[in-house]
C-alpha cells in the first residue's frame, strides 16, 4: 500500500499540523517506509 501526499495532508489536518509542501513530501516518503515494514 502506497501512501499519498493527499493522505499525509489529511492526517496533518486532523492532527492540526501545518505542513509546507516540502514537509508533506518528506513525511509522505517516511510514512510510506514505515507502513511498508508492516505490510511485508
Q: Which CATH number fits domain 5-39: 3.10.350, 1.20.120, 3.30.70, 1.10.20?
A: 1.10.20
Tell if the pTM clears 0.85, that is, is over it. Answer: no
Backbone conformation region of residue 17, classed left if phi is above 0, alpha if psi is from -120 to 50, else beta = beta
Could you report the per-residue pLDDT of 6-37, keeping only the tens digit for each? 999 999 999 999 999 999 999 999 999 998 99
Q: Which residue has the cell 499519498?
A: 4
C-alpha cell at 24: 508533506
Q: Where are the chain's structural domains?
A: 5-39
Amino acid at each position: 500500500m502506497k501512501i499519498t501526499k493527499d493522505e499525509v495532508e489529511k492526517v496533518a489536518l486532523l492532527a492540526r499540523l501545518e505542513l509546507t509542501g516540502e514537509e508533506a513530501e518528506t513525511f509522505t516518503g517516511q510514512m510510506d517506509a514505515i507502513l511498508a515494514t508492516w505490510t511485508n
